[in-house]
Amino acid sequence: MAGATPKLIKELREKTGAGMLDCKNALNETEGDLEKAIQALREAGLSKAAKKAGNVAAEGLISILVSDDNKTATMTEINSQTDFVAKNDNFIKLTQDITAHVQATGAAETEELKKTTINGQNFEEFLNEKIATIGENIVARKMVTLSTDTGVINGYVHATGKVGVLLAATCDEAAKEKAIPLLKNIAMHASAMKPVVISYENLDPEFVEAENRAIVAEIEAENDELARLGKPLKKIPAFVSKSQLTMEALEQAEEEFKKELQASGKPEKIWDKILPGQMERFVQDNTELDRRLALLSQSYVMDDKLTVEQAIAEVDKSIQIVEYVRFELGEGIEKKEEDFAAEVAAQMGK
């Protein structure tokens, strides 16, 4: 039976910040399944943060190409071995050429791209020539092209070339000119805030339930520390997503607020002025997961008094985001384990 190996314990500690014994127990309980062990620690309130692997050992650039009519856009991730090469003008030009070629051919993955022809030669041969010239291995790792007939598309690449976002939206004909710069601003927002879905409606119900337990455990652990410091405690929510807020749940919350107002002696004739604010606060307190992961529910970085959804509505209510893709350089590439002692021994011929 698989379980806690030193390597897995080390990786789990790096990702969660939990203690060594807690990591060992979690891995044994989940038979060495790292993702399940992370979730178990979160639900137990032992993970100090949902820490990810961080920047992985991959260099290169994210590149985008948006058509002049904003009907088509392509984004690629081209990897190099070093950051030095990634800043080289020849490499930058190569990423732009490959992105344009991907858009022209409609290639959706690396193996498909290898079978295409560019500048009269097979793409794989073309890339090998560039590798020989630049002096490093280069991989066209990820690519995506979005197209629309009923709206507009725009995107954003961070100045470092390490994060890129594409967004497609439907809208009325009259709103297209306003939607184009808006989508670029929202793409900038998404590059920083890392939403994983467009709307809370796109979150898997089982995932929501698991995150509900984990978020409650996080707040309970935080409250333990706040209590120790003599500071006010955070309110523990019953829910974490609008997808859980059924009509029954909302009605029950409203009834409880009415009982509190009655008990406090507030005249019933003014309840209708108080209840809307209480219900709005209830929804806000019980949608933490949406604000973390759903683009439309996040506070808009350009104006944090609005959600992204509200910011869109202020520009034009016909604008609806229908596709969202975010690339982060090196995401998903496994880090190479470095064994310095073994490397030194090998160099010494031992």
Mean pLDDT for the stretch of residues 268-297: 95
For the record, the structure tokens of 303 come out as: 């104006």
Predicted local confidence at residue 57, as pLDDT: 35
Summarize pLDDT for 96-139 with one digit per residue, the tens: 999 999 999 999 999 999 999 998 999 999 998 888 888 888 99
Predicted local confidence at residue 46, as pLDDT: 67
Q: How far apart are the first and last CA of the chain?
A: 34
For the record, the structure tokens of 50 come out as: 């949902």
Is the predicted pLDDT of residue 276 greater than 90, yes or no?
yes
Which amino acid makes up residue 93? K
Mean pLDDT for the stretch of residues 204-214: 96
Q: What is the pairing mode between strands 139-147 and 117-118? A: unpaired
Is the predicted pLDDT of residue 162 greater than 60, yes or no?
yes
Predicted local confidence at residue 4, as pLDDT: 81
Give the burial class of 77: count Cβ atoms within 10 A of its Cβ; 0-12 exposed, 13-18 middle, 19 or more buried: buried
Summarize pLDDT for 299-314 with one digit per residue, the tens: 999 999 999 999 999 9
Distance CA 10, CA 262 (A): 55
For residue 125, what are the contacts with CB-CB under 8 A and spacing of at least 6?
Answer: none
Give the confidence band of 35 by pLDDT, cuts at 50, 70, 90.
confident
Predicted local confidence at residue 53, as pLDDT: 32
Q: Where are the alpha helices (DSSP H) in the chain?
A: 6-16, 20-29, 34-43, 83-86, 89-105, 110-114, 123-134, 176-193, 205-228, 247-263, 271-285, 288-293, 308-315, 340-347
Give the confidence band of 54 by pLDDT, cuts at 50, 70, 90.
very low
Q: What is the mean pLDDT of the chain?
A: 89
Predicted local confidence at residue 236, as pLDDT: 93
Q: Interior CA angle at 157 toward 147 and 172, to 5°? A: 40
Highest mean pLDDT among 117-126, 169-178, 328-337: 169-178
Q: Which domains does the chain have, with CATH numbers?
A: 6-43 (1.10.8.10), 59-193 (3.30.479.20), 200-328 (no CATH)
Contact 188, 164 (CB under 8 A): no
